[in-house]
Structure 1
């Protein structure tokens, strides 16, 4: 249960901050946001505040910010369609009822001749007396269909109406907020736990996982490892390599505990990653730390840049074939990794969350259809051409991209299931 809670909090936070970036920059650009959603699929919870519906959805596979003008957002009335209208005190249309059965006595019924809910904001048609009449539509007018009210989105509130710079920044803001979140998580670690000083690399146990092989063998925090199977151990790196190289092999480990020498027998647990087995006993090494606000800020930036580079290196290995699809982890793999990390305490979980946040930001910036990077690539084409790509063609490319990403997700998830459960 603890792992489930940790996974939901971490994954939910990463998605929330990613979508928050899109949301804030959309609002800053004057774009109407129809929905701010965490998760995909059927709605579990929904609250409308202002012009935005805030929802939590069933499937924890991401989220989205639905902006005005996207997809099927536009309102079009065919000639001959009968609607009901109510008006503001100044005579502008404030509500348009698409249902034929409306009990409101103030409603004026109209057989539509023509209308524009985007730019000119008018509706024209024949009233019950057969007269052709025309009314201006308020910029805050509401369309009512089957009891559901939807605020109209004049063109100046739609995504496509904004400058190339505003649109690009709105899309880029999602990954950007993931990087910012990672920085603040690393900063919090530095402020609360402290910032590592000069590394000593001495084989001193900083912490012991309660359920790990080391704990079961009697190893304790601050134990100083002296020997493994009678061979002296000088550094933590040397000790870690011995443990990793001996999964499920009994090891005689001598430790110095205060003034005593204690001999323990530890059997490393076997884990598998990228098709290779390695041992783990459930202990943590940490360099000496100090608490310093300025150094904590530097630490936050340094760790963000460090992991940014490492993830890009892994992407390079994927491109060159050093990594394959079998080496990638999907949601199941991330959950299992979270389960392992959670055993080492809150700071390890925070570090893991920061790394995942950077990874999410970078993945979304890849120039692939349906991802933020794919949309930014279309904006680059628009800047070069001097005009946007046809929306239908762009939409088709993104649709194909979504289908391919879903297939990739299924393949990676199946690999995870085979790895962890078979």
Structure 2
């Protein structure tokens, strides 16, 4: 049960923060946000506030913010169509009844001759059974009513395409940006709660029955020399140990102001592509709010670099698709992390957040990076790309991503069961 709650919290937080970035910058640019969704598929829960429908959907595969103009508009009035009109106190059309007009006895029914709901916001036509031509102004926030469901119209100035290139680029980039910000915030919290690694090679803890404990190393010892190499940073100490599996190392440590000489033999530890040395020590941690801030940026940078390196290995074939994990694999990993404590779970959440941000910035169709690529091409060409062609590219990309998700999920299930 703890894992289920943790996974729902983590998934909801990562997706909410990402989509909130898209949402808030869409609003800031004056775009009409039709829906803010967590998950895909059938609606589990929904409510509407102002212009936006907020939904939680069944499949935990992501989320989306649906902005007017990104997809073809829902209803297009055509000449000869019979519609019902209702008006506000200013005499402007505020409801356009597309069907079931009998349920709206006060609506004026007309036959459409011309309608422009993008720029001029007018509807022209004839009263049914009369020859008198009529023309009506439409309220910018008028609603279509179809099957008794109301959907707000989207004048062109509220649509995605009407905004400047910087506004659209920022709205697309804001999702990944918020994931990076979340990562920084979580690492800052971790740095403040559990401490920031010391700058020097200061041992904070020694594992029982480890090579370090057998050699006599103690918490508080500062490594100053290994063989004839001077050590000033933990990374230097770590590198020497990892490069020396099953090799005897002569160490000089500073213990309470005294120099102590020790010998230790690192044990071999097999990783995916190499064997490294390990002696069983932990770095000393210093609790400092001031140091927690730069530490959070450093950790975000280091994890970003690691993810990018691994993605490059995937492209060059050094990693295979079989090594990727989907929701099932992430759930299984979350189950293992949750058992090690809340702080490790927070760290895991931060790593997934920066991973989500980077993945979404890849220049692939249907991802934020792919859509940013089209906005960049528009800026270079100085004219927009055909929306239908761009829509087809993103649709194909989305279909391929869903296919990849199915393959990855199936691989996860096989690994867990077999």
User: Normalising by the residue count of structure 2, what TM-score does the alignment of the two structures yield?
Assistant: 0.82
Q: 1:22 maps to what in 2?
A: 22
Q: 1:130 maps to what in 2?
A: 131
> Superposed, which structure 2 residues align to 1:85-96 within 5 Å?
85-96=85-96
| Structure 1 runs of 4+ with >4 Å offset | 199-203, 230-238, 272-278
The structural deviation recorded for 1:91 is: 1.8
> Superposed, which structure 2 residues align to 1:206-355 within 5 Å?
224-225=208-209, 232=215, 286-355=282-351
1:153-208 CA distance string (max 9 Å, x none): 11100000000110011001010000000000001111222222246575935xxx
Of the structure 1 ranges 352-361 and 188-197, higher mean CA displacement relative to structure 2 is found in 188-197
1:268-320 CA distance string (max 9 Å, x none): xxxx9869999xxxxx9653222222111111111111111111111121122
Q: 2:115 maps to what in 1?
A: 115
- Count, aligned residues: 372
Q: 2:264 maps to what in 1?
A: none
Distance in 2 separating the partners of 1:376 and 1:181: 21
Q: Is the CA contact 1:84–1:108 (under 8 Å) kept in the aligned structure 2?
A: yes
> Cα 1:134–1:277, aligned 2, differ >3 Å: closer, same or farther?
farther
C-alpha RMSD of matched pairs (Å): 2.8
Q: Does 1:149 align with 2:150?
A: yes
Q: Is the CA contact 1:365–1:373 (under 8 Å) kept in the aligned structure 2?
A: yes
Q: Is the CA contact 1:204–1:225 (under 8 Å) kept in the aligned structure 2?
A: no
SS at the partner of 1:126? strand
Q: Is the CA contact 2:205–2:283 (under 8 Å) kept in the aligned structure 1?
A: no
Distance in 2 separating the partners of 1:52 and 1:8: 23
1:366 to 359, 362, 376: 362
Distance in 2 separating the partners of 1:285 and 1:97: 72
Q: Does 1:162 align with 2:163?
A: yes
Unaligned runs of 5+ in 2: 219-236, 247-269
Q: 2:234 maps to what in 1?
A: none
The structural deviation recorded for 1:231 is: 6.6
Q: 1:187 maps to what in 2?
A: 188
Q: Is the CA contact 1:113–1:126 (under 8 Å) kept in the aligned structure 2?
A: yes
Distance in 2 separating the partners of 1:386 and 1:32: 25
Of the structure 1 ranges 192-201 and 58-67, higher mean CA displacement relative to structure 2 is found in 192-201
Unaligned runs of 5+ in 1: 206-222, 246-271, 279-283
Q: 2:408 maps to what in 1?
A: 412
